[in-house]
């Protein structure tokens, strides 16, 4: 990468594409962050337009500053063929199933611009390993807690991946209880626990408001978070022990309320697993994307 070149970083979610210019292996360039609305349930044309708008906007920003773009680096949830850049999701982005990301961008980028992809949890873990070199020894894992339950792990600084580039091992779909583990450790699970305990939320309230209630003394809200923590340990401990995880990082929207389930998780996993929370998940992800 020359002094005159930059990369484009894309963090793809179900409602927004977050983008910025970046410097390879370093992260985002300050002042270049943008957010483009996207509907993962939209038509192929709508999805194409959102991706093209996000990338072309950063291309224009780079050109105005006198920089050339050498790569577009992307993190997004799966299923997705991260090696070939092909959409394989049927529950979202279904209208572009089977299509390549390069085809969707069309003439927005030239043939010489490199495309690189990573699963969102793998990208976040890569960023954490870059920012915290001490995590590159032994086995470091990351769990993302939010709408779903993500999991990825690295051995001596190398993120383990499947052949298609997804996390090598999963937790979200592990058979558990009357369904899968994600049914018990996720946003929807915590909301359900609170309701089962007799808690009441208004239409505008969500997990964030539940966390506020718990910190203000609402025992039902606190127990809902603690219950999720206990289910996490019950469902994940076997895999964490099998992999020999030394460091376990938590990230994601619900991880911001980790203090409410911390005791259950720390005590359940034992002293051999060092547990910590990634505070700046967006910055960590951007560093991970820049390392692709």
pLDDT for residue 245: 98
What is the pLDDT, as a whole number, of residue 18? 93
The residue among 287, 290, 275, 241 whose CA lies nearest residue 143 is 275
In the chain, what are the domain boundaries?
Answer: 5-112, 135-280
* Pairing of β 86-87 and β 114-119: unpaired
Mean pLDDT of 176-187: 96
Domains 5-112 and 135-280 are alike in CATH topology: yes
Decide if 267 contacts 158 (C-beta within 8 A): no
Q: pLDDT tens digits for 212-250?
A: 999 999 999 999 999 999 999 999 999 999 999 999 999
Tell me the pLDDT of the chain averaged across its residues.
Answer: 94
Domain 5-112 CATH superfamily: ATPase, nucleotide binding domain (3.30.420.40)
pLDDT of residue 182 exceeding 90, the answer is yes
DSSP class per residue in 143-192: EEESSSEEEEEEETTEE-B-TTSSBSS-STTSEETTEEGGGTSSHHHHHH
pLDDT, average across residues 25-54: 94
pLDDT at 23 exceeding the cut of 80:
yes
Where residue 38 falls among pLDDT bands split at 50, 70, 90? very high
- Fold of the domain spanning 135-280: Nucleotidyltransferase; domain 5 (3.30.420)
pTM, two decimal places: 0.89
2 — pLDDT class (breaks 50, 70, 90): low
Q: What is the pLDDT of residue 1?
A: 61
Structure confidence by residue, pLDDT tens digits, 88-121: 998 889 999 999 999 999 999 999 999 999 999 9
| pLDDT confidence tier of residue 15, bands split at 50, 70 and 90 | confident
Strands 68-76 and 114-119: parallel
In 10 A of CB 133, how many CB atoms?
9
Confidence of residue 25 (pLDDT cuts 50, 70, 90): confident
């Amino acid at each position: 990468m020359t002094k005159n070149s930059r990369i484009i970083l894309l963090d793809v979610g179900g409602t927004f594409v977050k983008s910025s210019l970046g410097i390879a292996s370093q992260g985002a360039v300050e002042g270049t962050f943008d957010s483009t609305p996207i509907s993962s349930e939209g038509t192929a044309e709508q999805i194409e337009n959102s991706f093209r708008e996000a990338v072309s906007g950063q291309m224009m920003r780079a050109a105005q500053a006198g920089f050339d773009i050498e790569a577009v680096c992307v993190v997004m949830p799966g299923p997705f063929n991260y090696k070939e850049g092909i959409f394989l999701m049927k529950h979202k982005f279904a209208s572009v199933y089977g299509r390549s990301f390069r085809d969707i961008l069309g003439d927005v980028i030239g043939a010489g611009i490199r495309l690189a992809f990573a699963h969102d949890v793998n990208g976040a873990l890569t960023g954490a390993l870059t920012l915290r070199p001490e995590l590159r020894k032994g086995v470091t894992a990351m769990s993302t807690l939010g709408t779903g339950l993500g999991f990825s792990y690295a051995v001596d600084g190398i993120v383990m991946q499947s052949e298609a580039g997804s996390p090598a091992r999963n937790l979200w779909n592990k058979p558990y209880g009357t369904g899968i583990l994600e049914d018990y450790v996720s946003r929807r699970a915590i909301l359900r626990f609170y309701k089962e305990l007799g808690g009441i939320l208004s239409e505008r309230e969500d997990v964030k408001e539940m966390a506020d209630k718990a910190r203000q003394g609402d025992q039902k809200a606190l127990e809902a978070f603690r219950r999720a923590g206990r289910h996490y340990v019950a469902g994940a401990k076997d895999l964490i022990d099998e992999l020999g995880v030394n460091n376990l990082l938590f990230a994601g929207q619900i991880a911001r309320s980790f203090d409410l389930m911390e005791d259950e998780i720390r005590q359940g996993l034992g002293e051999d697993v060092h547990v910590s929370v990634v505070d700046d998940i967006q910055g960590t992800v951007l560093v991970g994307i820049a390392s692709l």
